[in-house]
Structure 1
Amino acid sequence: MRPFTFHPGPRLLAGPDQAEALAEKLPPGPCLLVTDADLVQLGITDAYRDAIGKDREIVVFDAVEADPSKETLLAATEAGRSAQVASVVGLGGGSPMDVAKLAAYLLGSGDELDEIWGVNIARGRRLPLALVPTTAGTGSEATPISVITCEGGVKLAVNSPPLIADWAVLDASLTLGLPKHVTAATGIDAIVHAVEAYTSARLKNPLSDALAREALRLLASNLQTAIEEPRNLEARSAMLLGAHLAGLAFANAPVAGVHALAYPLGGLHHLPHGLTNALMLRHVLAHNVEAARDHYAELAEIIEPDCAGQGSQARAALLIERLDELARNSGLALRLRDHGIAFEEAPRLAEEAMKQGRLLVNNPCEISQSDAQRLYEAAW
């Protein structure tokens, strides 16, 4: 076995109705709750707000948007600083959780944001932090990564162990009734995390592999049920656990080309992150197929065990086909043209994708700027 390093994720509270249990884990003193306005309006935050606010002041910052901006992050941090909060809770999808992670870090460490972009640069101490996902997709509650949209639509990230939360809550009751398109996009996002972690070129290791495989099994076998039966708690629980395991996997074996090419679609066109991954999934996997053939073949057996007797090339091709079917059957529109993106934008998108060097270095094979342009054109 070659040497490897593995960072475990947060401690977990799993199961429905965990609000009181989470409140007991937080320190005394004011708490900053980072969420979004839609969740507040729908009442999804109520139980956690009530429980956390029972014995402490609670400061609600609900202005987080999709693909949160640097300005939003700094506003959340200032809200926490003004109230002298003692802890931070992020409740929502990946966007509120990413803002909560960095706000907790900036409040606790006193570091300047523009000095900590990148990998393992943030080394200070953050405030106590808990994360409560309301979608089964990003796995942000499991990772030390926060992605923020900066000037010009460029996505920058802080990736460092201090951003790992103290606690994460997997409460599938918060995901019941999610719209089909949200369930589909976030589910495909989680599947991409599992696949890219399993094939990560630099830091793939036995523990991340085991997590990625189990994540893919849970996600692939429950996504369609969760879409068709939005109040099926068993399927929702499996999806939430699968997304968390995929998050742990890619926190240690980072994602690669699919994400690198997805980010410009979100940054420039404000498409949901899970959808952008779905748009590029088939094309990037096809580009990688020879370099990652054996790994893709192994993953194919998780989705379709009957293929075990086939050769590696056939199994790898089958994986790409089955993942594409999952995305199509989820109801997502999978062409760039379906989302108002012109064919002529491919060169600019490719140029923007090259800025994601931290992701491209993890891909099983090189993706050059000309490769990226060709892949965007194929996805059009």
Structure 2
Amino acid sequence: MSPFVFNTTKSIQFGAGSFSRLGELALSTIGRRVLLVTDAGMVATGIVEEALAHLRAAGVEVQLYADVKADPPEEIILAAAGTANSAGVDGVIGLGGGSSLDAAKLVALLAVGKEELRSLYGVGNVKGPRLPLILVPTTSGTGSEVTPISIVTTGASEKMGVVSPVLLPDVALLDPELTYGLPASVTAATGIDAMVHAIEASASASANNNPVSRTLASQALQLMGPALLRAVQNGSDADARADMLLGSMLAGQAFANSPVAAVHALAYPLGGHFHIPHGLSNALVLPHVLRFNAVTAHHSYVDLAPHLFPDLASLKGQERVTAFCDRLTALSVDCGLPQRLRDVKISEDWLPKLASDAMKQTRLLVNNPRRLTEADALAIYTAAF
């Protein structure tokens, strides 16, 4: 067995109603002065006000930063870190989807004042330390609460990642009840995103692809396969919501250690240029990347398919791989997601630019199980068009 490293969040606390413990967790993990990082959409749901009430009831003083935007640009990260510095907080809480959690990670790091954001991009460039950090996800998709990764929009449209175990939070607090109000479209897109994390982690060409990640990826797909459509069709299905949130977290643990690849690399330009939600961007290119990768990732997909779709166990070899790709497409259709780039108002003349930009995602492409050229990327976008 090859050597590997597996890192994850120190404490994971899961359960319906566990959000009510946020105040006591903040007091014991952070202290009496915290910065709560979130976005305006979360404020509108009432969940932020509930968080503030739990924190204040425990005697915790809260400074609120609620200006995070999807795919947060550098200026948002720096502004939030400035707020943390001005308030003299003891630590940070991130509440919301992946963008808020990613922002909170970097704020906890930058607020210490020893590092500059522009020097952190890439893998292993963070020195630390950071402030104490609690992350509370409200979607079942990114797994950010257990990943050492933060994605930032740099310049007009390019996304870059900061990757370091220092970014792993002290506590991940997962309450399925926080996901009950998610719209069906968000539930669907984030759910497909979590499935992509599991699939890409399991087939990753990374030298750190490991048996722990593969086991977690398989378990994640077993949980999410039967649950996603139920959660989309009935947002208050408690069992489906719990399975999706736990599955998303397990997939996050998997890809945090066995990194994702070309699906994400080709999804990023869609979000950067057209502000398409990350989960939907993944869903749009997923089946086409899988078909491209099947030449070299055949055995991985054969192994994974029955975990997500148990009835595919009766099929063998290439027949199972083909059915796996087809069923993922059908699941996306059943969830009501757009299927073509043209459906999200991307014109064909954009495809060469998207292919060129995807090739800049070298951090991700190096993990793809099949070498991908710019011509290959263009062919995948064309198939998705």
What TM-score, normalized to structure 2?
0.97
1:50 is the counterpart of 2:53: yes
1:228-258 deviations in Å (ceiling 9; x for gaps): 1111111101000000000000000000000
SS at match of 1:12: strand
Correspondence for 1:281 among 286, 309, 321: 286
Aligned to 1:30: 33
Aligned to 2:194: 190
Which amino acid letter does the alignment assign opposite residue 77 of structure 2?
Answer: L
Aligned to 2:377: 372
Correspondence for 1:113 among 111, 114, 117: 117
Aligned to 1:12: 12
Rounded Cα–Cα distance in structure 2 between residues aligned with 1:123 and 1:198 = 29
SS at match of 1:169: strand
Aligned to 2:43: 40
Which amino acid letter does the alignment assign opposite residue 89 of structure 1?
Answer: I
Correspondence for 2:338 among 323, 333, 336: 333
Rounded Cα–Cα distance in structure 2 between residues aligned with 1:157 and 1:296 = 27
SS at match of 1:6: coil
SS at match of 1:230: coil
1:78 is the counterpart of 2:82: yes
Q: What pairs with 1:267-346 in structure 2 (closer than 5 Å)?
A: 267-346=272-351
How far 1:42 sits from its partner (Å)? 1.6
Which amino acid letter does the alignment assign opposite residue 13 of structure 1?
Answer: Q
Aligned to 2:361: 356
How far 1:189 sits from its partner (Å)? 0.3
Correspondence for 1:158 among 135, 155, 162: 162
Q: Structure 1 residues 331 and 201, CA, compared in 2 at 3 Å: closer, same or farther?
A: same
Rounded Cα–Cα distance in structure 2 between residues aligned with 1:218 and 1:329 = 18
**How many residue pairs get matched?**
380
SS at match of 1:292: helix
How far 1:20 sits from its partner (Å)? 4.1
Which amino acid letter does the alignment assign opposite residue 341 of structure 1?
Answer: I
Rounded Cα–Cα distance in structure 2 between residues aligned with 1:273 and 1:8 = 23
Q: In terms of mean alpha carbon deviation, does 182-191 or 51-60 score higher?
A: 51-60
Rounded Cα–Cα distance in structure 2 between residues aligned with 1:340 and 1:166 = 41
Q: In terms of mean alpha carbon deviation, does 166-175 or 52-61 score higher?
A: 52-61
- Are the equivalent residues in 2 in contact too, given 1:109–1:124 (CA < 8 A)? no
1:72-92 deviations in Å (ceiling 9; x for gaps): 111111111100110100000
How far 1:9 sits from its partner (Å)? 2.4
Q: Structure 1 residues 220 and 168, CA, compared in 2 at 3 Å: closer, same or farther?
A: same
1:220 is the counterpart of 2:225: yes
Rounded Cα–Cα distance in structure 2 between residues aligned with 1:250 and 1:82 = 35
How far 1:53 sits from its partner (Å)? 2.6
Rounded Cα–Cα distance in structure 2 between residues aligned with 1:332 and 1:227 = 11
Rounded Cα–Cα distance in structure 2 between residues aligned with 1:357 and 1:263 = 12
1:27-70 deviations in Å (ceiling 9; x for gaps): 32310000111111220222221112331220111111111111
SS at match of 1:53: helix
- Are the equivalent residues in 1 in contact too, given 2:81–2:110 (CA < 8 A)? yes
How far 1:304 sits from its partner (Å)? 3.1
SS at match of 1:291: helix
How far 1:267 sits from its partner (Å)? 0.5
Q: In terms of mean alpha carbon deviation, does 107-116 or 178-187 score higher?
A: 107-116
Q: In terms of mean alpha carbon deviation, does 76-85 or 105-114 score higher?
A: 105-114
Q: In terms of mean alpha carbon deviation, does 239-248 or 19-28 score higher?
A: 19-28
Which amino acid letter does the alignment assign opposite residue 52 of structure 2?
Answer: R
How far 1:109 sits from its partner (Å)? 5.2
Rounded Cα–Cα distance in structure 2 between residues aligned with 1:151 and 1:80 = 24
SS at match of 1:346: helix
- Are the equivalent residues in 2 in contact too, given 1:194–1:216 (CA < 8 A)? yes
Rounded Cα–Cα distance in structure 2 between residues aligned with 1:338 and 1:303 = 27
- Are the equivalent residues in 2 in contact too, given 1:145–1:159 (CA < 8 A)? yes
Aligned to 2:73: 69
SS at match of 1:289: helix
1:229 is the counterpart of 2:272: no
SS at match of 2:236: coil
What TM-score, normalized to structure 1?
0.98
SS at match of 2:21: helix
How far 1:188 sits from its partner (Å)? 0.4
How far 1:16 sits from its partner (Å)? 2.2
How far 1:195 sits from its partner (Å)? 0.3
CA root-mean-square deviation:
1.1
1:247 is the counterpart of 2:252: yes
How far 1:300 sits from its partner (Å)? 1.1
Q: In terms of mean alpha carbon deviation, does 345-354 or 309-318 score higher?
A: 309-318
